[in-house]
């Protein structure tokens, strides 16, 4: 268990590599997602135990709808299963679960579960877990800009009052600190539209491990790597 002194307050994880993990084993891609979902539970609980205050995981992007229908369906089944479990078993965890992204497009049964999970965990005082579903950084910024345009249209704001703080008020993560550390397993070197605004000064740790194989020790290594970095936020 990570015993380092310095913990990032907010960690983001791009849970990548489920498909390759399955392929390596001659299994369907959906089997990789099942393994990935199980690992997500392990890692989320671990982050909460070691004292991470905010964890944001990328579960389904605005672009993931392009995948074969069968894979999308398998992911929706997994989300439903996870949410049902969260309602049943997650109650003793001191984790507040929130969903970021446009969840209005999901099936009513999934939307109900999302609401119930958010509602039932809203008074928890421990880690905040943001699950990004139908999330895209560009879509999030587009949404924020539309809201600001409405304010200007209704006269409750002047164009020159639009500043960074005003934009942040309309992000899904409003009121939360920006991620200090973003971990990307599976070795890909790109942001994939994850927390575009919020990650301006995040430290990225890219690891050559597929998500279902990513262990709590790997998380510890990412935290150790983060501590070594010298964050200057544009200063010297
Ligand atoms: C990326 O791997 C992973 C996804 C698009 C889905 C992430 C979902 C989970 C980890 C499981 C469900 C999560 C919850 C919250 C229950 P990929 O399929 O792109 O892998 P590849 O790059 O190897 O093809």
Domains of the chain, by residue range, sit at: 4-136+177-228
DSSP string, 148-201: HHHHHHTTSS-GGG--HHHHHHTSTTTTSPPPSEEEEETS--S-TTSSTTTTTT
> Phi/psi of residue 99, each to 5°?
-115, 135
Q: Is the CB of 20 under 6 A from ligand 1?
A: yes
Cα 31 to ligand 1 centre (Å):
10
Catalytic residue flag (residue 220): no
pLDDT of 181 strictly over 90: yes
pLDDT of 232 strictly over 80: no
Q: Mean pLDDT throughout 121-143? A: 97
Q: Which protein residue's CA is at the shortest distance from atom 2 of ligand 1?
A: 16
Pocket test for ligand 1, best of 24, 32, 36, 63 (most atoms within 8 A of CB): 36
Cα 209 to ligand 1 centre (Å):
13
Q: Is the CB of 16 under 6 A from ligand 1?
A: yes
β-pairing, 54-61 with 10-14?
Answer: parallel
CB of 118 within 8 A of CB of 98? yes
pLDDT tens track for 182-213:
999 999 999 999 999 999 999 999 999 999 99
Q: Is the CB of 64 under 6 A from ligand 1?
A: yes
pLDDT tens track for 54-95:
999 999 999 999 999 999 999 999 999 999 998 887 778 899
Catalytic residue flag (residue 16): yes
pLDDT tens track for 11-68:
999 999 999 999 999 999 999 999 999 999 999 999 999 999 999 999 999 999 999 9
Q: Which protein residue's CA is at the shortest distance from atom 11 of ligand 1?
A: 37
Percent of residues, the chain, with pLDDT higher than 70: 100
Answer left, alpha or beta for residue 17, where phi above 0 means left and psi between -120 and 50 means alpha: left
The predicted pLDDT at position 126 comes to 96
Q: Is the CB of 192 under 6 A from ligand 1?
A: no
The predicted pLDDT at position 179 comes to 98
pLDDT tens track for 90-111:
778 899 999 999 999 999 999 9
Q: Which protein residue's CA is at the shortest distance from atom 10 of ligand 1?
A: 36
Q: Is the CB of 36 under 6 A from ligand 1?
A: yes
Q: Which CATH class is domain 4-136+177-228?
A: alpha beta
Of 64, 102, 213, 220, catalytic:
64
β-pairing, 181-185 with 10-14?
Answer: parallel
């Amino acid at each position: 268990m990570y015993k380092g002194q310095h913990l990032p307050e907010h960690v983001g994880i791009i849970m990548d590599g489920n498909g390759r993990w399955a392929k390596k084993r001659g299994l369907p891609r959906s089997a990789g997602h099942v393994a990935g979902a199980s690992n997500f539970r392990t890692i989320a609980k671990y982050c909460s135990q070691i004292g991470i205050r905010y964890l944001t995981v990328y579960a389904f992007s605005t672009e993931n709808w392009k995948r074969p229908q069968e894979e999308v369906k398998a992911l929706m089944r997994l989300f439903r299963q996870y949410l049902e479990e969260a309602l049943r078993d997650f109650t003793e965890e001191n984790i507040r679960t929130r969903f970021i992204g446009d969840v209005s497009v999901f099936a009513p049964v999934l939307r109900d579960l999302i609401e119930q999970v958010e509602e039932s965990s809203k008074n928890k005082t421990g880690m905040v877990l943001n699950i990004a579903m139908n999330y895209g950084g560009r879509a999030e910024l587009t949404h924020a800009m539309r809201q600001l345009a409405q304010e200007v249209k209704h006269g409750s704001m002047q164009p020159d009052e639009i500043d960074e703080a005003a934009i942040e008020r309309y992000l899904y993560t409003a009121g939360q600190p920006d991620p200090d550390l973003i971990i990307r397993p599976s070795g890909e070197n790109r942001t994939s539209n994850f927390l575009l605004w919020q990650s301006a000064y995040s430290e990225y740790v890219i690891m050559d491990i597929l998500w279902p194989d990513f262990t709590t020790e790997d998380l510890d290594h990412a935290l150790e790597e983060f501590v070594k970095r010298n964050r200057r936020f544009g200063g010297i």
